[in-house]
Amino acid sequence: MTSERIPGADGTRRRIEISESVPAPALKGLAKFIETYYLTPNLHYFRPPSYQRAESKEGDRFEFSWNLDLTKVKEPVIASPSTISVSLSMSSAGATVDFSGYDPMAPRIDQICAHVADDIEAVIVAYLTYTKRTSLHFVFSLGKEEKMEAPSQTSTSLRREFIKRVFAGNTVNLYLMLIVASFVFIFLLGDNALIALLIVQALALFFSDRLVMGAGAVRPTKDQPEVTIVTVLSTPEAIRPLATRGNQVMRQIRDEFRKTVFAGNVEAPQTKVAVHAILVQAGVNCSLDDIEIKTRNPYALVQAAAERFHLPLPKITVVNTPVDNAAATGISPGRSSMTITAGALEDLDDEELESVIGHELGHIRGRDPVILFAVTSVMYIGGLYLWLPVLLELGLFYFVLAFGVIYLVGKFLETRADTASAAVLGKPSVLASALTHIGFRQLYYEKYSPQVRFVDWLRFDPHPPIYFRVRRLSRIAAKGGEIKHALLLSIRDIISGFFGALLGQG
């Protein structure tokens, strides 16, 4: 989000541009969404009868305007005039919020304008997130060995989802699996249960790089580095016809792509027309404008970043999910793999995606999957066999403490991975931008609520709060990106960040 002041005849004008681009077919729905969930609930803050709405004949631009009454906002502002004129313009290129007609010397004016813009951006992001999650996503790797992943609901998809949740960084699921496995082993094997459990854990860790590759069917390689993503704006109802026919439709779309690949332009208009015809024939109600085709080269980005880290190239798989994310695992840099989501390939530019990849390579270089796995195992097995009296004394509270230790270590490792990306790639501000994009909604809640900031430190999540990570990276960028001791810096920042949130200074 960018902001600028513009002198005008009616005083200082503040323009805040919201960078979120809006797909043209979704624009009308977004306008209605903003009216329903932002403008209508806040009409009591507007000076009547100032609220107005306008729409272009083509339906490709919407304008909203109102006068914000400063006497009705939280902690009322005494100013003359006592209103701010607000204008919201939306098109497929994005949204712009203009503020004018106010006293620039009045206290808290800047904060009020920024808060209004953040509120509007949060509503836009919520709508786009919903639209993205209910859309269809087809992922292709084209070449001699075509690989693809359709939005199906088959057992294969369930298997991939299971693998992704267990091995792509969610230690809660892994911890619960260990608990269930241990009870089974104790029932079946008695005194030999500990040995069996250790063997299972060792095997899971040793083969984690291969297991996680099962989360996605599309795996970029040197010979097939590019990935094509077809996104179709849709609804949950439209997905149902593809529950059993997804792969069949996928093959038809792939065959159509093969005709244009050798012509050198997968994103050609005629390809979109052909894809539209295939989808309509399959029962998916959509228009040409609902279809977006994008080709990315994740292999080149991972390769370039790995060279900067002086690491072997990890195996890569693309997971067909709209969430913007990436994850890495493996017992060593030579036996590592990385997952990148289709959502990240769609939404992040090359620099942002490279910085996120750098974060994951920081995990690989630091052998963080091994460290976190070891901590998880020690806390559980130790509780059952080494300090069992403590477990019996504390009961279920022991597991709460164990989770706390696991996630405290996780927060250190995540912060160190951020630091590694910033130090090696030299772009801490770009990683901050990527994290802002990925976690905007949570960042919005954390920004305006000290309570949320503190609670986010206590969540069973290996990631520190998003506001802390963004603010920390911005500080590193302001200092020129110089980093001497990544781990010590990360430990210090985690401790100071937690106590800052505890004291309401986060």
DSSP state of 23: -
Residue 331 belongs to a domain? no
Per-residue pLDDT, 240 = 63
Residue 83 belongs to a domain? yes
Residue 343 belongs to a domain? no
pTM of the predicted structure, to 2 decimals: 0.87
Residue 484 belongs to a domain? no
Residue 296 belongs to a domain? no
Residue 176 belongs to a domain? no
> Can you give the CATH number for the domain in which 80 is found?
3.30.530
pLDDT in tens, the chain (506 residues): 666 666 655 556 677 777 667 777 788 888 999 999 999 999 999 998 899 999 998 888 999 999 999 988 888 888 788 889 999 999 888 888 999 888 878 888 888 888 998 899 889 888 888 888 878 788 888 665 556 665 543 444 555 565 555 554 444 555 556 667 767 777 777 767 767 777 777 787 788 888 888 878 889 999 889 888 888 887 666 666 665 665 667 677 767 666 655 445 556 677 788 888 877 777 777 788 888 888 899 999 999 999 999 999 999 999 888 888 899 988 999 999 999 999 999 889 999 999 999 999 999 999 998 888 788 778 777 777 778 787 778 877 887 888 888 888 989 999 999 999 999 999 999 999 999 989 888 898 998 888 899 999 988 888 999 999 999 999 999 888 678 788 888 889 999 999 988 887 76
Which residue intervals of 94-154 are DSSP H helices?
A: 109-133
Per-residue pLDDT, 153 = 37
Residue 116 belongs to a domain? yes
CA count, 13 A, side-chain hemisphere, 216: 27
Per-residue pLDDT, 243 = 57
- Domain with 121, as residue range(s), is 2-133
Q: How many CB atoms lie within 10 A of CB 35?
A: 15
Residue 104 belongs to a domain? yes
DSSP state of 479: T
| CB 13, CB 98: distance < 8 Å | yes
H, E, C per residue of 285-324: CCCHHHEEEEEECHHHHHHHHHHHHCCCCCEEEEECCCCC
For 477, counting Cβ atoms within 10 Å of its Cβ (0-12 exposed, 13-18 middle, 19+ buried), the class is middle
Q: Tell which residue, 332, 426, 334, 326, has the closest CA to residue 373.
A: 332
Per-residue pLDDT, 360 = 95
State how far Cα 285 lies from the chain centre. 28
Integer Cα distance of 440 and 436 in angstroms: 5
* Overall number of domains in the chain: 1
Integer Cα distance of 30 and 53 in angstroms: 14
